[in-house]
């Protein structure tokens, strides 16, 4: 018990010391737990910058390869694997791909600019240019047949050292090259030229009695003159260098101590960043600079870390990973808005991967709101003849990414899915549509809608049920075969359905007509599952044949229809009727019955009115020809 208590006290003291060391020295300690990064961001620098958690962009453990030597420009990162093949990572699509692979050739030193990647085949002393858009490579300046090595690309140009130890500059647009710097004599050598807008930065060295190392800044746009940035000697050696804009960042080794310097081209001033840094380190190397940001590796507290410097605010910051070798060979890129991206390789548990850190000028808005799904079920019942249409309105505070329709067919045990299509609106607020396949039998279909946004927030609708009905309505009807001219035809049918009738129609084609006319029938009795329905076909004004049929549609949109029936419309002469009652009096006839017997006054008749006693009679003297009466009346 005493031993355990002592161990706990010692552990607590160590933890408190670690916390003190971290926060007093300004560490950013990205803690990992279960693969998830726990830190959100760190605010730092002149803008200020918001430094986001690191993100692994390769997976060496799964692929069995180690990845090193990254370079970045824009949305592309190039890097090398164990077999000296060249790879590329697209930041926007998050896709890795192979740029150059050859079992007999070793490639290295990739650099990126816009849609191009250059890399060296150092066994062959050749430099290649890869076009990302066309997915094609070609040898840089193959016409010259010169030895190219130590290439570097920027702003549409590629510089490299040739076989004569001179510096050659290649123009991508014109596909031409020329020597821009010639070494002073055969005893002098040049190494690793770096290209910027107006300058080439390279090391010129000589070995022998008059040995020296010097870092040369050569003006390729203006005067063609050169400036000596730094001079080494027998005790001081140049280690690495990088140029961008008005800044040159380089390191030197002297007496076992590596120091980093920042040279300003505009005023030719130099800052010893190692002396200015608040972090104690005797080893600093692999430097990179982009605009006002500079970064390099520093051996600090017994392990490698990355030290970041902002020349505007004159602030330093140490970046590290816990319990693992930190980033090596850091490279920077900054866009027009001042947002920077840092890439580097890092070894953990024996695997080396490429990582990136976003350094933003504004804190990104983290979207935690899932899309909203609004769906109104319109298909409560459906048939077995057509697919089931499903629509939904999906909205998101940023942007919808994907909308899926999940459905379970009749008698199935699992759900299927299909993508829904945006039919109107936009990715923020829009209407989406898809179809559930046609069902082959009656039963129940279940479905729900799933949607996610560009931040991978997702939402799911409620689950809905559709009753699949494969049975059409049953129509029972006694056909009408004859009717008289000027006589309305009353159609009645009994209709049954297992789900319920929505609409019943009487469709008829009159005498001499070419098309059918639809009349909506009325329910006379019963209910929608078993009822009596009727409608009246208008009277015909001429004899001949009339056709009709009855149709019914139920809740599931099943459709039932009778045969087409023919009704003979007969003229009254053919029937022998004169529209008189048994006493020979004229009258109006409905369904063969006289419903009133008041003679009708016509303009052709002669009328005389007489008042006799207590009654009033209207006596009409009809024309001599009764047919004239009837013709006028009708």
Taking the C-alpha atoms of residue 84 and residue 109, their distance in angstroms, rounded to an integer, is 10
Q: Is the pLDDT of residue 607 over 50?
A: no
Q: Is the pLDDT of residue 579 over 80?
A: no
Q: Is the pLDDT of residue 601 over 50?
A: no
Per-residue confidence band for 4, with pLDDT thresholds at 50, 70 and 90: low
Helix, strand, or coil (residue 498):
coil
Let me know whether 200 and 108 are in one domain: yes
Taking the C-alpha atoms of residue 290 and residue 299, their distance in angstroms, rounded to an integer, is 22
Question: Are the C-beta atoms of 416 and 471 separated by less than 8 Å?
Answer: no
Question: 526, exposed or middle or buried, with CB in 10 Å at 0-12, 13-18, 19+?
Answer: middle
Does any domain span residue 136?
yes
Let me know whether 267 and 254 are in one domain: yes
Residue 196's pLDDT is what?
Answer: 92
Let me know whether 553 and 492 are in one domain: yes
Residue 592's pLDDT is what?
Answer: 33
Per-residue confidence band for 299, with pLDDT thresholds at 50, 70 and 90: confident
Let me know whether 180 and 147 are in one domain: yes
Let me know whether 259 and 347 are in one domain: yes
Which residue did the predictor score with more confidence, 545 or 602?
545
Instruction: Write the DSSP symbol of residue 505.
Output: E
Residue 81's pLDDT is what?
Answer: 95
Q: Tens of pLDDT along 242-288?
A: 999 999 999 998 888 999 999 999 999 999 999 999 988 888 888 99
% of the chain exceeding 70 in pLDDT: 80
Q: Tens of pLDDT along 27-76?
A: 344 433 333 333 456 778 788 888 888 899 999 999 999 999 999 999 99
Does any domain span residue 580?
no
Let me know whether 101 and 197 are in one domain: yes
Per-residue confidence band for 186, with pLDDT thresholds at 50, 70 and 90: low
Q: Is the pLDDT of residue 600 over 90?
A: no
Let me know whether 219 and 72 are in one domain: yes
Average pLDDT on 80-86 reads 94
CATH code, domain carrying 482: 2.60.40.650
Does any domain span residue 583?
no
Q: Which residues pair with 525 in a beta bridge?
A: 532
CA-based R_g, the chain, Å: 46
Does any domain span residue 154?
yes
Let me know whether 78 and 213 are in one domain: yes
Taking the C-alpha atoms of residue 328 and residue 316, their distance in angstroms, rounded to an integer, is 18
Does any domain span residue 273?
yes
Which residue did the predictor score with more confidence, 89 or 37?
89
Average pLDDT on 486-495 reads 96
Per-residue confidence band for 573, with pLDDT thresholds at 50, 70 and 90: low
Residue 148's pLDDT is what?
Answer: 83
Per-residue confidence band for 210, with pLDDT thresholds at 50, 70 and 90: low
HEC secondary structure over 456-467: CCEEECCCEEEE
Residue 90's pLDDT is what?
Answer: 95
Q: Is the pLDDT of residue 602 over 60?
A: no
Q: Which helix (H) or strand (E) holds 552?
A: strand 544-554
The region of weakest confidence among 73-82, 124-133, 363-372 is 363-372
CATH code, domain carrying 414: 2.60.40.10
Average pLDDT on 511-532 reads 95
Q: Which residues pair with 299 in a beta bridge?
A: 304
Q: Tens of pLDDT along 338-377?
A: 999 999 998 888 899 999 999 988 876 668 899 999 999 9
pTM score: 0.58
Average pLDDT on 192-210 reads 83
Q: Tens of pLDDT along 173-185?
A: 999 888 888 887 7
Let me know whether 197 and 264 are in one domain: no
| Residue after which a domain boundary falls, among 204, 234, 264 | 234
Let me know whether 253 and 283 are in one domain: yes
Does any domain span residue 391?
yes
Let me know whether 105 and 143 are in one domain: yes
Q: Which helix (H) or strand (E) holds 304?
A: strand 303-310
| Residue after which a domain boundary falls, among 468, 483, 508 | 468
Quote the mean pLDDT of the chain.
82
Residue 532's pLDDT is what?
Answer: 96
Does any domain span residue 171?
yes
Does any domain span residue 262?
yes
Q: Domain range for residue 269?
A: 26-64+239-364
Question: 155, exposed or middle or buried, with CB in 10 Å at 0-12, 13-18, 19+?
Answer: exposed
Residue 27's pLDDT is what?
Answer: 39
Let me know whether 82 and 207 are in one domain: yes
Q: Tens of pLDDT along 504-517?
A: 999 999 999 999 99
Q: Is the pLDDT of residue 335 over 80?
A: yes
Domain count, the chain: 5
Per-residue confidence band for 609, with pLDDT thresholds at 50, 70 and 90: very low
| Residue after which a domain boundary falls, among 234, 251, 271 | 234
Taking the C-alpha atoms of residue 117 and residue 73, their distance in angstroms, rounded to an integer, is 10
Residue 365's pLDDT is what?
Answer: 66
């Amino acid at each position: 018990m005493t031993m355990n208590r002592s161990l706990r006290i010692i552990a607590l003291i160590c933890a408190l010391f670690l916390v003190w060391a971290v926060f007093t020295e300004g560490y950013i300690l990205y803690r990992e737990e279960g693969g998830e990064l726990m830190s959100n961001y760190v605010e730092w620098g002149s803008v200020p910058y918001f430094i986001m958690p690191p993100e692994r962009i390769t997976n060496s453990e799964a692929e069995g390869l180690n990845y090193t030597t990254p370079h970045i420009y824009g949305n592309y990162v190039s890097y090398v694997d164990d077999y000296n093949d060249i790879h590329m990572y697209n930041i926007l699509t998050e896709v890795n791909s192979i740029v150059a692979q050859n079992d007999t050739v070793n490639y290295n030193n990739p650099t990126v600019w816009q849609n191009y990647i250059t890399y060296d085949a150092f066994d062959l002393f050749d430099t290649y240019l890869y076009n990302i858009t066309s997915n094609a490579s070609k040898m840089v300046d193959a016409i010259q047949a010169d030895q190219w090595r130590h290439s570097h690309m920027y702003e549409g140009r590629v510089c490299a050292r040739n076989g004569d130890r001179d510096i050659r500059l290649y123009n991508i647009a014109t596909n031409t090259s020329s020597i821009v710097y010639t070494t002073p004599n055969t005893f002098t050598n040049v190494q690793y030229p770096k290209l910027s807008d107006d300058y080439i930065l390279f090391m010129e060295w000589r070995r022998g009695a008059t040995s020296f190392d010097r870092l040369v800044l050569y003006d390729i746009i203006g005067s063609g003159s050169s400036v000596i940035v730094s001079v080494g000697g027998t005790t001081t050696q140049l280690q690495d260098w990088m140029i961008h804009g008005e800044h040159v960042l380089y390191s030197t080794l002297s007496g076992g101590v590596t120091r980093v310097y920042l040279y300003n081209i505009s005023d030719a001033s130099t800052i010893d960043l190692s002396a200015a840094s608040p972090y104690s380190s005797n080893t600093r190397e692999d430097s990179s600079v982009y605009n006002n940001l500079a970064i390099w590796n520093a051996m600090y507290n017994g392990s490698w870390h990355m030290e970041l410097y902002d020349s505007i605010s004159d602030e330093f910051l140490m970046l590290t990973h816990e319990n693992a070798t930190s980033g090596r060979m850091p490279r920077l890129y900054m866009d027009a808005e001042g947002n920077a991206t840092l890439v580097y390789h890092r070894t953990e548990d024996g695997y080396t991967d490429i990582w990136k850190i976003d350094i933003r000028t504004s804190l990104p808005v983290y979207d935690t709101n899932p899309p909203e799904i609004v769906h109104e079920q319109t298909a409560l019942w459906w048939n077995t003849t057509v697919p089931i249409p499903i629509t939904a309105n999906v909205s998101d505070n940023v942007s919808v990414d994907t909308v899926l329709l999940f459905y379970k067919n009749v008698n199935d045990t699992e759900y299927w899915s299909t993508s829904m299509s945006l039919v109107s609106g936009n990715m923020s607020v829009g209407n989406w549509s898809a179809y559930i396949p046609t069902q082959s039998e009656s039963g129940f279909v279940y479905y729900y809608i799933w949607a996610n946004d560009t931040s991978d927030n997702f939402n799911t609708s409620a689950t809905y049920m559709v009753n699949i009905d494969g049975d059409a309505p049953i129509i029972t009807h006694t056909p009408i075969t004859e009717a008289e001219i000027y006589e309305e035809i009353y159609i009645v049918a009994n209709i049954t359905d297992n789900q319920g009738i929505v609409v019943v129609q009487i469709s008829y084609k009159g005498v001499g007509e070419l098309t059918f006319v639809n009349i909506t029938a009325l329910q006379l009795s019963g209910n929608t599952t078993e009822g009596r329905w009727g409608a009246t076909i208008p009277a015909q004004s001429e004899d001949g044949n009339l056709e009709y049929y009855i149709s019914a549609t139920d809740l599931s949109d099943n459709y039932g229809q009778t045969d087409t029936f023919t009704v003979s419309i007969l003229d009254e002469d053919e029937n022998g009727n004169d529209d008189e009652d048994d006493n020979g009096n004229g009258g109006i006839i409905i369904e063969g019955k006289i419903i009133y017997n008041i003679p009708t006054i016509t303009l052709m008749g002669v009328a005389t009115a007489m008042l006799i006693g207590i009654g009033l009679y209207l006596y009409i003297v009809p024309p001599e020809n009764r047919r004239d009466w009837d013709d006028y009346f009708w």
